[in-house]
Structure 1
């Protein structure tokens, strides 16, 4: 199993003052796996992502990618090592076109030459339904297209681990189905995915395994069906009394 583990977290802890937001969380993610992260608002899900991406420094615990420790690595090094992520609120370079937004990670994170990066970014834009917007300034895109661009930018760096933070929020059923199909294609290309999502039907259509947080503590982990039948998960996440 060790050879199959891409990301390993042991006792990850993050405190802001006296408040512990991520509390001694341990888990592994296997290569090619889709791990769903569930929990109510304030459960520590995005903070956990920030610890993995390097946006926040952990107060305790260990984190490794491909068997090498990540703690000392700044965010840009983690991108170069193969970690890509999206944010709940899209953060494009507003004065650059959609295409230019993808060229930045393709050349800096994936270290592609310009010609290779150009072809690859065009493919990603097409996959994400943004090719007609390739020359549109990112600041002028609709919210839906900015969300698509957020995913496209993460993919442009050729990640081996992709962190998706509520990427399905605000989508129609048809758009959600397109997103699920795209994420399946990404997984089939060998990309490992950790996905925070409140749109349960989208997440459950793809996730191999689910981890549930509450007040920063891991309260359940396992197959989607097993986790969703857990009385504590139903009480905490779905408001169903055991």
Structure 2
């Protein structure tokens, strides 16, 4: 595993009024690594992603991407610097086709020329199982295909850091296996991944390390098997009493 750190978070904190949703969380992700994030509903996982992507501003702490300070950058600059993400609820441009949805990040985030962007987006659609829907308006896609499009849009921007927020939810076992294979290919291309997921077997099949949150605080971090044997993780995530 390379030692170069793509993302470093130090003491990240986010409060909404008197409620602390992310509580002094520190971690780092090495280049080419897949970091899984687990935790019960309301643990602060998506809020942590929102702090990384710039959708929310932190109340405390610091973020750096490739050694450069990130916290002051707006979301569009973070995209341009190589952060791509998916959302739990897909957010495509509904009136645009699936292909057109990919052209936006390919040209604005990855800075590809038009002909390069067309070829790249066509390949991403194939990889994500959407080639047959390339000319379908995104708003008329099924929920499953909107989820696929959400992943495709993130990949179209050629991210160096990919944030996946429960992308496996609602997939069949066969579709989940295809997703795991795709994420492995993305990792093998050198993309660093942070993946929030409740489909545990999918996450365990890919993740190099796992970080567990509960009530906004980090309660465990380490190798997947080691973390899942942690009594506190078993108690808060699986409801197993020590």
TM range (shorter): over 0.9
- The residue that corresponds to 1:73 in the other structure is 73
Instruction: Tell me, in whole angstroms, the C-alpha distance in 1 between the residues paired with 2:21 and 2:187.
Output: 30
Q: Matched residue of 2:51: which SS?
A: helix
Residue 7 of structure 2 corresponds to residue 7 of structure 1: yes
Residue 161 of structure 2 corresponds to residue 165 of structure 1: no
Q: How far 1:134 moved relative to its partner?
A: 0.2
Instruction: Tell me, in whole angstroms, the C-alpha distance in 2 between the residues paired with 1:133 and 1:52.
Output: 31
Q: Matched residue of 1:112: which SS?
A: coil
Instruction: Tell me, in whole angstroms, the C-alpha distance in 2 between the residues paired with 1:137 and 1:52.
Output: 30
Q: How far 1:2 moved relative to its partner?
A: 9.5
Any idea what the Cα deviations from partners look like across 1:170-200, whole Å, max 9, x if unmatched? 0000000000000000000000000000000
User: How many residues get paired?
Assistant: 242
Q: TM-score, normalised by structure 2?
A: 0.99
Q: TM-score, normalised by structure 1?
A: 0.99
- The residue that corresponds to 2:123 in the other structure is 123
Q: How far 1:105 moved relative to its partner?
A: 0.3
Q: Matched residue of 2:145: which SS?
A: helix
Q: Could you list the runs of 5+ residues in structure 2 that have no partner in the other structure?
A: none
Residue 33 of structure 2 corresponds to residue 36 of structure 1: no
Instruction: Tell me, in whole angstroms, the C-alpha distance in 1 between the residues paired with 2:26 and 2:72.
Output: 19
Residue 198 of structure 2 corresponds to residue 198 of structure 1: yes
Any idea what the Cα deviations from partners look like across 1:44-88, whole Å, max 9, x if unmatched? 000000000000000000000000001110000000000000000
Q: How far 1:154 moved relative to its partner?
A: 0.1
Instruction: Tell me, in whole angstroms, the C-alpha distance in 2 between the residues paired with 1:127 and 1:230.
Output: 36
Alignment of 1:1-242 (within 5 A): 4-242=4-242
Instruction: Give the superposed CA RMSD.
Output: 1.0
